[in-house]
Amino acid sequence: MTGSKIVAALFVATLAMTRASAADAPNWTVDLAKSKLGFSGTQTGDPFTGSFTRYKAAIAFDPARLEASHLTVTVDLASAATGDTQRDTALPGDDWFDIAHFPQASFVSDTIRKKPDGTYEVAGHLMLRGVTRPLTLPFVLDINGTSAHAKGHATLIRTAFGVGQGQWTTGDYVALEVGVDIDIVATRAK
């Protein structure tokens, strides 16, 4: 590539980034004290719920410009808590989240769309235990001025991410289906 072609390519790339930045949706800050990132499952026939107490969310969202909207969530897996000592001690271990090798999970959106019934869904990729798979999360959204409240639920198969090794690879003791639940309160940046 000649010097002039490199300069032209850099110019086009810079122009494209400038246009993308100008079209970005407004940023939203999650109120961690009022929000919950949870999960649910079944162990030996009994349902249980839990939550992650440490996570970060970068949200850019405009309901009028969904093509410019996106989000990234990073979860500290060591913060998983269900209120059951045995389960909470096991979750960070090698058979489950293996936080020594995979301390974080992340979700990065690809698209956000509004459905005909007025609800939304975000489609993206969840990375957990070094495995990345597509995940779609339907959610309802209420925006009131600069405040927003989103609630949603998705189901995934834990073994698709390698969660539950050894004797836990079957659903005999712990069901393979796991719910991912969000209840997020956020404020639009000014």
The answer to whether residue 81 sits within a structural domain is: yes
41 has pLDDT over 70: yes
The answer to whether residue 57 sits within a structural domain is: yes
Cα dihedral 85/130/152/68 (nearest 10):
150
Q: Is residue 93 within 8 Å of residue 80, measured between CB atoms?
A: no
pLDDT at 23: 63
Number of domains making up the chain: 1
- pLDDT (mean) for 24-47: 96
What rounded mean pLDDT belongs to the chain?
A: 90
- pLDDT (mean) for 58-68: 97
Domain that holds residue 154: 25-188
The answer to whether residue 45 sits within a structural domain is: yes
pLDDT at 190: 77
The answer to whether residue 18 sits within a structural domain is: no
Within 10 angstroms of residue 154's Cβ, the number of other Cβ atoms is 18
Angle made by CA atoms 137, 143, 148, in degrees to the nearest 5: 65
Q: Is residue 122 within 8 Å of residue 91, measured between CB atoms?
A: no
- Strand pairing class (80-81; 46-52): antiparallel
* CATH code for the domain in which residue 97 is found: 2.40.128.110
68-94 confidence digits (pLDDT tens): 999 999 999 999 999 999 999 999 999
